[in-house]
Homo-oligomer: A and B are copies of this chain.
Amino acid sequence: MRTALDAMGGDHAPQPNIDGAIAALQGDPNLEVVLVGEEGLLEDLVGKSGYSGERLEIRHADGVVEMCEKPTDALRSKPNCSIAVCWQMMASRDVDAVVSAGHTGAVVAAGLRTRLFLKGVKRPGIAVAVPTIAGQSVLMDVGANPAARPEHLYQYGIMGEIYAREVLEVQDVRVGLMNIGSEDGKGTELVQEAHALLSTRPLKDRYIGNVEGRGVYQGEADVIICEGFVGNVVLKVSEGVAQMMLGTVAKTVVENLSSEREHAGNLLRKMSQRFVHNESGGAPLLGIDGICIIGHGSSNAQSITNALRVATTFRDRRINSQIVEAIAAHKVS
């Protein structure tokens, strides 16, 4: 397994990226990582790390897409930035996977340019696992596809089911459709048509119907399909609410305790790990002929290690062959 890691992507890059890569290499003797970014800087930091193995390579790239930049503009002005070079390596089959904690829009835009779509897949989508009362559920798409059509949502159901089953190891995956009511005939034309496709075709034994916003966090479904705009808003709103709630509990509950204030504070911080930091190992861009794992912007070394491991699991479980087979078996005109 040979993976290109966007060494410059992420709020704290490149240090946690390098540390995370080294930890992943130490845990997996069959892994090779190519650090993509400023050569001089990376050589210096790898030297300081004391890592001397041969499975860590450096590939130069010019610049990085900053979080404030518009992806298309940035990729035009910096054609050899770190994420662009990662995808060039995957397009030329120099690597099996790309891992980045950089600007999600740029990771997707650079990837879609390569047109590395899996056979039969109409539009790739990002699948992200979110914590729920019951454990976790997958939301797909959360922003790769801004103009979804019913057949795209249908294919997200197929791809999301495989991802949840094989990578997250969920048994008897239940696929739901994000909607504004649980009855039939609810929602926009897009979701109504997607509902009809999901209900009548072979996916139907996995499809449980509409899921409302409240149901997502009750764990009503293991995979929740939505179009990219809605998914992205849901993801960010959820993070916003979780952070607000944790902050308010700290201020109005923990701060008002006396003898157990410190203990309660520690418990709250421990709990918050599950909700605020992404420990799940990043979100795959599904439907790509290759492997692309997108980490959270705030990734630390552990998150990078996890993302590199998920990329390997992705290959080991043959996710892409399974997607191609399932898409072929569920052909939509």
Listed in ascending order, the chain A residues whose CB lies under 8 Å from chain B are 68, 70, 105, 131-133, 143, 146-147, 178, 180-181, 183, 185, 187-189, 191, 212-218, 226, 228-230, 232-249, 252-254, 256-260, 263-264, 267-268, 270-271, 274-275
Contact = CB atoms under 8 A, between A and B. Distances in A.
B247 A245 contact: no
A245 B213 contact: no
B245 A253 contact: no
Contact of A260 (B105, B185, B264): B264
Contact of A233 (B185, B213, B257): B213
A236 B249 contact: no
A131 to B, nearest CB: 8
Most chain B CB neighbours (cut-off 10 Å) among A245, A254, A263: A245
Contact of A264 (B131, B232, B239, B253): B253
14 contacts: A133-B244, A180-B229, A213-B233, A213-B237, A230-B233, A241-B245, A248-B271, A248-B274, A252-B271, A253-B254, A253-B267, A253-B271, A256-B263, A257-B257
B258 A240 contact: no
Identical copies in the complex: 2
Given A187-B229, A213-B240, A226-B233, 4 more contacts: A213-B232, A214-B239, A234-B234, A237-B241
A319 to B, nearest CB: 26
A181 B257 contact: no
A43 B13 CA distance: 70
Contacts of A248: 133, 271, 274-275
Nearest to A146: B188
Contact of A257 (B133, B244, B260): B260
Contacts of A212: 233, 236
